[in-house]
Structure formats: C-alpha cells, structure tokens
Amino acid sequence: MSERGMDRRDFLHRLGLSGLALGMSGAACGSGGGDVAAQQGSVAKQAVNAAAGSSGPKTGLCTLAFSELPFRDVLSLARDTGFDGVEPWGKPGHIPLTLSDDEVRQERQAAQEMGLEISHYGCYVRIGDDLEQEVVSQQQKEANMVRALEITRLLGTDICRIWAGNKDSELMNEADWEKMVRDGKTFCALAEKAELTLAIEMHGNSVTNKAAAAVDLLERVGSPALKLNYQILNRSEDPYERARIAGPHVVMAHAQNQAKEGRGQGSICDGVVDFQKIWDILHGEFGFNGYFEVEFVGGKTPEEKRAALEADAKCLKGIG
C-alpha cells in the first residue's frame, strides 16, 4: 500500500512520530501553547549546533519531501531529525497561496515553537510561460506573485523561490526571452518594494537548465532582487562548473543526488556528486552561508524514508 493509502496513524508510527497521531492531529490550528517537549528538543538541538560550530551550511528540509503528510507533521519530523529549518511547500496541504494571513502566521508559530527557522518559501509562480497545466492570465500571475511575497513576509523569511519558463534554454526563442524578462522586471519591482529576494529554481524544462543561461537571465532582468537556487541537474551539466558559474548569485541550494549505480534518487553523501566540494565552491569561493536543503528522500515505505532522511541530515551536518 502506498503512503497516501496508508492509515495516517500507522504512517506516523512507522516514521517514529507516533505521538503526533493523537496529539498533533487533534490540536486546533495555531493552538501553540508552548509544547514543553518541543522546546526542550529545540534547546538540545541548539546546544549541539553551538558545540559543533557553524563551519558548514545551515541544514533544511523542503516539506515537499513529505507531501503526503500534513505540514505540522513534517515540522515535527524536521525537528526530530535535527534540521535547522524548513522550506514550506507552496501547494495544498502545506502552505498554498490560498491560505489566509492568520493561517500562515499560525504555521510560522508552530515552526518557531519547534526551534525551526523558515528558510525560504517555495512557491510555483513562473516568469515567462507557465506549465500547460498551470496556465493563468497575466493579471492572475501578477496577483499570485504579490500573494507569494506576502506569504514570504508572513513566514518570517526574505527569500521566495520561483521558476523561469517551461523550456530548456536551448529551445528559447527571442519572444520567449522578451516575455520572461518582462515578467522578471515586473516581479522584481514587487520584490524590491517588499525588500525580498526571488530565487529562481535551477531545473530542467526551464531556462535555468544551464547555469550560463540562468546568469544571462539575471543580467537581462538587471535587478538585485533576482538570485538563484542552486541544484544539480543529474549528468546534463558538470555540477561543479555549474556551481562556479552560478555561485555569485546563489542564495539557497537544494541538496539532492543521483545514485552512483543505475537511475533514481541516491543519498546525498553516497551519490554521484560530492556535496562537500559543492560547499567548498559556493562557500569558499563566493561566501555562500545559506541553506543546503533536502528536497527529496529515497525509499518507499515510511521506515525507508525516515532512514533516508536521517542519513541525509547526518550527511549535511558533516559538511564544513
């Protein structure tokens, strides 16, 4: 049976979060109240982090990695596995654009009570053309960007992750570029006014599939509010050269890896790419001090996903 088809209580139990099956699910949204155990866990985590020093990246969990769980449950999982922060997934079930201001504040408070920082807000607004299934009018797109920036501020972070088009850079024509740059200037004006940063996802089916094209986009838009979210793209571009080209503009990084043998998701420390080397480039050459975030975890069962997450958390904490 899949995670989605599994009874939630059983799924949480197998993840090691069985106490949440009753306690968290029965709590009213934003009930807060000062969870003593959570506060104690936060203090202990902070002490460990202080003892270890801060030579490596901050460690984050994209809540997308556990999209089958409610947001509060993912927060608990991030806390229990020792992450410093989370990037909320901007889709229903976590932090969609339709959430009210009060609901967003309540989720921020829940994270704070667990000792977690909100690293960034992961929204799905795109400059340029949207994916076919997400086509919206220009007016609606701009309204979505305004709302995404409002949520970013309400979450207590200053970085909002966005996307760039729906084509690889090699397929872009001049009309595509003109539309993307026009949107970029419009959205960046909004971000500058709000004193926030837009970090473009470096991804396939996007102009950012190549680092040089991503930098070209930033230069064409010409706004200090537009930056990059570094991530590897399997074997389509050398990950270290990709980091060097993008490095001056990187404000966040998704840590994911490809298995050394075969296809599919590999653990961060046992995959094709050496993330210590990525850190050495981004931090050592460009002064990056932000988050390395787990975006996806391996495994299919709750036990496998929990074990993979713990291994990735340990891996990221060993970088420095």
Residue 52 confidence (pLDDT): 42
Cα atoms in the Cβ-side hemisphere of radius 13 Å centred on 44 = 11
pLDDT over 90 (residue 233): no
Nearest to 157 by CA among 256, 58, 233: 58
Residue 235 confidence (pLDDT): 74
**157-184 burial by CB neighbour count: b if 16+ within 10 A, else e?**
bebbbbbbbbbbbeebeeebbebbbebb
Residue 236 confidence (pLDDT): 81
Could you tell me the CA-to-CA distances from 200 to 91, 250, 273 in Å, in that order? 17, 9, 21
Residues in Cβ contact with 50 at an 8 Å cutoff, skipping those fewer than 6 apart: none
CATH superfamily of the domain spanning 51-317: Divalent-metal-dependent TIM barrel enzymes (3.20.20.150)
Residue 8 confidence (pLDDT): 57
How high does pLDDT run on average in the chain? 86
Task: Say what the pTM is.
Answer: 0.83
Residue 130 confidence (pLDDT): 81
Eight-state DSSP code of residue 64: G
Please count the helices (runs of H) and the strands (runs of E) in the chain: 12, 11
pLDDT in tens, 236-280: 899 999 999 999 999 999 998 888 876 667 789 888 899 999 999
pLDDT over 90 (residue 294): yes
pLDDT over 90 (residue 103): yes
Residue 137 confidence (pLDDT): 85
Residue 160 confidence (pLDDT): 98
Residue in the structure block whose two tokens are 């960034």: 120
pLDDT in tens, 27-59: 333 333 333 333 333 333 333 343 444 589 999
Cα atoms in the Cβ-side hemisphere of radius 13 Å centred on 38 = 24
- In this predicted model, which residue has the larger pLDDT, 43 or 134? 134
pLDDT in tens, 74-83: 999 999 999 9
What percent of the chain is modeled with pLDDT above 70?
80
Give me 313's structure tokens: 């958390």
Q: What is the mean pLDDT of residues 163-188?
A: 95
Burial of 151 (0-12, 13-18, 19+ CB in 10 A): buried
Q: Which H or E run contains 268?
A: none
pLDDT in tens, 107-118: 999 999 999 999
Distance CA 274, CA 257 (A): 9
Eight-state DSSP code of residue 28: P
pLDDT over 80 (residue 2): no
pLDDT over 90 (residue 10): no
> Helices in the chain by DSSP H: which ranges?
8-15, 20-23, 36-52, 71-80, 101-113, 138-154, 174-194, 211-221, 239-246, 275-279, 286, 302-317
